[in-house]
Structure 1
Amino acid sequence: MEEIRQAWNLKAKDFPRYQEGQKDNLEILQFFRDCGVDFKNKTILDIGCGNGRFSLELAKEAREILGLDISPMMIEILQEDAKSMGFLNIKTRVGTWEDYEIKHAFDYVFASMSPALNNKENFIKALSSCTVGLCYVGWGRVRKSSFLEGILKEHGLNLELPVGLPNVLSWLEELGMQAPPFLYKASTITKTSSVEKAILDAEFAIRVHGGKASMDLIRDYIKSLTKEESIIYKEEREIGLAFIAV
Structure 2
Amino acid sequence: MIVANPWDKRAKTYDKNSGKLTKFQLDFLELIKSWGVDFKEKSIIDVGCGTGNYTLHLAKECKEILGVDSSEGMLNKLETKRQNLGLTNVSTKCVSFDEFQTSKKFDIAFLTMSPAVRPDEFDKFINLASLRVYLNWEISRYSSVLSPLFTKLGKKSKTSDAFLLKEHLKAKNIAFKTKILEEKRVESREFNEALENAKWHLNISELEISDDELIKYLKNLEKNGIISDEIVSTLRVLVF
For residues 22 and 32 of structure 1, the distance between their equivalents in structure 2, rounded to whole angstroms, comes to 16
Q: Does 1:138 align with 2:153?
A: no
In the TM superposition, residue 241 of structure 1 has moved relative to its aligned partner by: 0.9
Could you report, residue by residue, the CA deviation over 1:69-123 in whole angstroms, capped at 9, with x for unpaired residues? 111100000000000000111101111000001221111000001101231x211
Partner of residue 158, structure 1: 155
The answer for the alignment partner of 2:213 in structure 1 is 217
The Cα shift of 1:224 comes to 2.1
* Distance change >3 Å, CA 87–CA 31, structure 1 → 2: same
Instruction: Give TM-score, length-normalised by structure 2.
Output: 0.90
Change (3 A) 1:69 1:192: same
In the alignment, the residues of structure 2 paired with residue 185 and residue 108 of structure 1 have an alpha-carbon distance, to the nearest angstrom, of 21
Match of 1:208? 204
Which stretches of structure 1, 4 residues or longer, exceed 6 Å deviation after superposition? none
Corresponding letter in the other structure for 1:171: H
Q: Distance in 2 between matches of 1:92 and 1:216?
A: 41
1:45 equivalent in structure 2? 45
Count residues with an aligned counterpart.
238
Change (3 A) 1:205 1:102: same
Work out the CA distance in 2 between the residues paired with 1:165 and 1:67: 21
The TM-score with structure 1 as length reference comes to: 0.88
Long gaps (5+) in structure 1: none
Distance 2:208 2:68 in 1: 27
**Matching of residues 1-246 of structure 1 within 5 Å:** 6-16=5-15, 18-20=18-20, 22-119=22-119, 121-131=120-130, 133-141=131-139, 143-153=141-151, 156-158=153-155, 160=157, 163-178=160-175, 180-212=176-208, 214-244=210-240
User: Are 1:65 and 1:90, in contact at CA under 8 Å, matched by a contact in 2?
Assistant: yes
Counterpart Cα distance in 1 of 2:92 and 2:237: 24
Structure 1 distance, partners of 2:213, 2:159, is 25
Retained in 2: the 8 A contact 1:149–1:158?
Answer: no
- Contact 1:10 1:200 survives alignment (8 Å): no
Counterpart Cα distance in 2 of 1:213 and 1:84: 41
3-state DSSP class of the match of 2:141?
Answer: strand
Structure-2 separation of matches of 1:110 and 1:14: 23
Query: Percent identical across equivalent pairs?
Result: 25
Instruction: Label 1:162 to 1:233 Cα distance change in 2 as closer, same or farther (>3 A).
Output: farther
Question: How far does the alpha carbon of each residue in 1:43-70 deviate from its partner, in whole angstroms, 9 at most, with x for none?
Answer: 1100000001100100101111110111
Q: RMSD in angstroms over aligned alpha carbons? A: 2.1
Structure 2, unaligned runs of 5 or more: none
